[in-house]
Amino acid sequence: MSLKIVYKICCGIDVHKTFVVACIASTNDKGITSYESHRFSTYTSGLKTLLQWLLKHNCKDVCMESTGKYWIPIYNILENDCSIVLAHPKYVKAIRGKKTDKKDAKWIADLFKHDLVAGSFMPPADIRQLRDLMRYRFKLTCFKSSEKNRLQNCLTVSNIQLGNVVSDTFGKSAQAIPDKLLENPADTSFYLKPLVYKSLKKKLPELRDAIDGYITPEQVGKLKVIKAHYESLESRKAELEELILALASPYQQELAILKTAPGIRSLFTAIGIISEIGTNIEAFPSAKHLCSWAGLTPTNNESTGEKKSVRVSKAGCYIKPLPVQCANAIVTSKKHPEIRNRYLRLKKRRGHKKAIIAIARMLLTALYHMLKNGENYNAELYRKYDLPPTNWEITVEQAIIIAKNQGYKIKSATA
């Protein structure tokens, strides 16, 4: 018995930085497959030649591995004329010791013609552009956090303990004081009251002690560079956010639906979710598929009837933090008891980390159905689900176990 050939004419592409190797597998009516390989440059002219070569052989089904960022130029050229399946390299890796560029391309074509390659999720081009901008915004946010830490370290080594008095060292008052210090580092006896606002006016003696330090000329120079870099990052991030808002304007309806979900207050959080999973939620057959793709489900690692690991997978490194952050915000608030109560029940048995992952999956499942049905978040559905059924029957042994889990001590009736 042989495997069924799904694609009679298909192409496997082995991707590299400066060149690609393409192999067309053509299967005739007798089931005999012939192969033709060719090497192309990754310059645009070379990729256009690759497209013409594919169309000449009437090959419109293409499979290639996602090597770094090198697959993107190829995808851009072939996207409009070919049906492309993008595969993770671990799913199309050839047998060790029998690897050459031509054999790799032939191996990909052989797997693909039998439909044995699991394709990666590829949203439309506009969503991909939005995704790229949102990921860069996340990087800029991380850079800003790094600069904040560096500025705080400079103040600490200079014996300036502002962090012990103010809750936010980058607040309006907290930033006015270092600015004044940098004007004349040798003078720490300036008048503080005009620089502080609101409740900090009650802490003037503590602030006076906190700024009584010694800033070396080197630290002064470093502080000025850090502040200039931080302000530049803020400006660049604001410019980037304008681009993102313009690109996300066609998805106002989906964004409005997502903002009704618990934990999603910021518009950019909703845009981040749209940029990762897209608006056509039908690309995922079910909510379970979406949660698995986002890395919020346990991996399957079982042998000889024994499960070796139940840890969540490493997938979804960009989408996973979003529902996890929302889940952490929800469980500390009492505005959504249907979620908080479930978290508390899970935390008793499994601990905080596993409970948060479960709540994040619960939230992502809700977002899937909200986008699919075009409906706002409805807490009543969760409340009805949590109610015990009226005809629920349990044994005496099960009742004893439930009572013990609730902290009750079981004693005999005769006692």
What share of the chain has pLDDT > 90, as a percent? 49
pLDDT digits (tens, 9 = 90+) for 57-73: 999 999 998 888 899 99
The more confidently predicted of residues 128 and 159 is 128
Q: Is pLDDT at 382 greater than 80 in this prediction?
A: no
Rounded to an integer, what distance in angstroms lies between the CA atom of residue 275 and that of residue 126?
9
Structural tokens at position 132: 């790229």
Give the mean pLDDT of 384-406.
75
Do β-strands 306-307 and 302-303 pair in parallel, antiparallel, or remain unpaired? antiparallel
- pLDDT in the model for residue 304: 76
Residue 245, pLDDT score: 95
Q: What is the pLDDT confidence band of residue 400, given thresholds at 50, 70 and 90? A: confident
Token pair of 170, please? 């980058």
> Taking 70 as the threshold, does the pLDDT of residue 317 lie above it?
yes
pLDDT of 414 strictly over 70: no
- Dist CA 20 CA 264 (whole Å): 43
pLDDT of residue 300: 80
**pLDDT for res 1:** 47
Q: How far is CA 108 from the centre of its chain?
A: 28
pLDDT confidence bin for 384, thresholds 50/70/90:
low
CA distances, 152 to each of 28, 54, 183, 203 (Å):
70, 58, 18, 20
Which of 59, 57, 39, 35 is closest to 47 using CA atoms?
Answer: 39
Q: Are residues 212 and 236 in contact, defined by beta-carbon separation less than 8 angstroms?
A: no
Q: What is the pLDDT of residue 274?
A: 94
Give the pLDDT of residue 298: 85
Helical pair 172-183 and 217-247, crossing angle rounded to 10 deg: 140
Residue-averaged pLDDT of the chain: 87
First to last CA, the chain: 71
More confident residue, 56 or 93: 56
Cβ atoms of 323 and 262 within 8 Å: the answer is: no
pLDDT value of position 178: 79
The CA-atom distances, in angstroms, between 359 and each of 66, 113, 195, 263 are 31, 40, 44, 11
pTM: 0.83
Rounded average pLDDT over 363-390? 81
Give the model confidence (pLDDT) of 216-255 as tens digits: 888 888 988 999 999 999 999 999 999 999 999 999 999 9
Question: What's the rounded Cα separation, in Å, for the pair 108 and 91?
Answer: 9
Per-residue pLDDT tens digits for 79-123: 999 999 999 888 888 877 778 889 999 999 999 999 898 888 888
Domain ranges in the chain are 9-114, 127-248, 251-382
pLDDT at 391 over 80: no
Specify the fold of 9-114: Nucleotidyltransferase; domain 5 (3.30.420)
Q: Is 13 helix (H, G, I), strand (E, B) or coil?
A: strand
Tokens of 113: 């013609």
Q: Which pLDDT tens digit goes with each residue over 188-225?
A: 677 777 777 777 777 777 877 777 778 888 888 898 89
Q: How confident is the model at residue 172 (pLDDT cuts 50, 70, 90)?
A: confident
Residue type, 293: W
Determine the angle formed by the axes of helices 337-350 and 321-331, rounding to 10 degrees. 100
Domain formed by 127-248, architecture? Orthogonal Bundle (1.10)
Structure tokens at 29: 């009516």
Question: Which tokens is 326 given?
Answer: 């929302």
Q: Give the mean pLDDT of 33-41.
A: 93
Strands 9-15, 61-65: pairing kind: parallel
